[in-house]
Amino acid sequence: MSGPRHVLHLHSSAGRYGADRQLVAMAGGLDPDRWRATAVLAEDGPLVDDLREVGCEVLVRPLSVLRRELLSPAGLLRVGREWGADALALGRIARERGAALVHSNTSVTLGGAPAAAALGIPHVWHVREIYTGFERPWPLYGRMLLSAAAVPCVSEAVREQFAGFARGDRARVLHDGLALAPDPVDRDVARAALGLPPDVFVVALLGRLSAWKGQALLVEALGTSPLREDPSTVVLLAGSAWRDDPALADGLRARSAALGVADRVHLPGFVDRVGLVYAAADVVAVPSVNPDPLPNAALEAAAAGCCVVAPDHG
């Protein structure tokens, strides 16, 4: 076949967090003389425009995505129905574009495997997850992931999940790159933009609000002696919850108030210009309570010249 070949990317979200920005970097980094890209997203969001700006065609349609809230008999039945629908719809999309490759950008995006198999083209299953708490179904699920032609893993900790599996050598480490160029900002300007005092010590965490990313852990640390008695230390929790669910942010505010540190915990929501966060921070914390596959915030913060403190797991 002459001319550029086509890759079909599948992705489970449409925000501007780590895996989202990595998809933009991949699609925008393709050699246009060799490749064309189409991305199918499970929902609408700012990622749509970001991908189109780098020349990637974007389609938005429901996708079969394994989410934690679906890990029940009824939820898995729903996933199974969506999986069957994906195989037909994605197969048609790939066929119409003459796709040479299907790339699932997360390992919870399920429809790429049957679609690629139906067309006899390679499927790449990108693993950005560590399946803590998923131990019972993991042997079956891990073998399914290894059915792909290639299984890039964003870190060695991710790849280690496949140790001892047949065909485990298909899982190879392919680290994420820096998806955003450093954005130097004056510290006083950054703190003013984020509503932070100019003369405090700022511990920042940038990432989606979730039960495992460690926002609650930072709040507890701030509310424990000796930090509790040190008004010069504040915490900046930049990020929003999945689908902007207010429950997590409300819970963090309530706990901060109970600990007597509400005025020192700042929750600005999603901050699109992440350079503001890194410029404002004295320390960037990555306090994930579960093993973290490869937090992009750690890469970005280090590139911005920040001190990064992270747990020794993941």
For residue range 2-51, list pLDDT tens digits in order: 789 999 999 999 999 999 999 999 999 999 999 999 999 999 999 999 99
The share of the chain scoring above pLDDT 70, in percent, equals 95
Based on the fold, state whether residues 202 and 156 are members of the same structural domain: no
* Residue 191 shares a structural domain with residue 277: yes
- Confidence at residue 253, expressed as pLDDT on a 0 to 100 scale: 98
Q: Do 144 and 205 fall into the same domain?
A: no
In a domain, 181, yes or no: no
As for how many domains the chain has, the answer is 2
- Distance between CA atoms of residues 314 and 308, nearest Å: 15
Residue 151 and residue 235 share a domain = no
Domain that holds residue 94: 5-173
Contact 5, 36 (CB under 8 A): yes
CA distance 88 to 69: 25
Residue 76: predicted pLDDT: 58
62 in any annotated domain = yes
What span, in angstroms and rounded, lies between the C-alpha atoms of 140 and 120? Answer: 23
- Is position 178 within any domain? no
Does one domain contain both 77 and 214? no
Nearest 5°: CA angle at 192, between 187 and 193?
100
Domain boundary among the residues 115, 145, 173 is at: 173
* 1 vs 63 pLDDT, higher one: 63
Asked, for residue 314, whether it belongs to a domain, the answer is no
pLDDT tens by residue, 85-96: 788 899 999 999
182 is a domain residue: no
Average of pLDDT values for 167-183? 92
For the CA atoms of 168, 160, 295, 256, what is the dihedral angle to 10 degrees? 130
Task: Give the pLDDT score at 68.
Answer: 64
Q: Are residues 10 and 122 in the same domain?
A: yes
Across 66-70, 157-161, 274-278, 310-314, least confident range = 66-70
Same domain? For 119 and 262 the reply is no
Asked whether residue 166 falls in the same domain as residue 193, the answer is no
Same domain? For 44 and 134 the reply is yes
pLDDT of res. 135: 86
Do 276 and 128 share a structural domain?
Answer: no
> Which one of 103, 138, 173 terminates a domain?
173
Reported as type and span, the H/E element at residue 259 is helix 247-259
Tell whether pTM > 0.85: yes
If asked whether residues 165 and 27 sit together in one domain, one would say yes
CA atoms within 13 A on the CB side of 150: 15
Please report whether residue 65 resides in a domain. Answer: yes
Q: Is residue 180 part of a domain?
A: no
What pLDDT, in 10s, does the model give residues 202-244?
999 999 999 999 999 999 999 999 999 999 999 999 999 988 8
Domain assignment present for residue 94? The answer is yes
Question: What's the confidence (pLDDT) of residue 83?
Answer: 73
Q: State pLDDT tens for residues 300-313.
A: 999 999 999 998 88
The CATH number given to whatever domain includes residue 282 is 3.40.50.2000
Same domain assignment for residues 88 and 235: no
Average pLDDT over residues 164-172: 93
The predicted model gives 192-201 an average pLDDT of: 97
Confidence check: pLDDT of 70 > 80: no
pLDDT of 282 reads 98
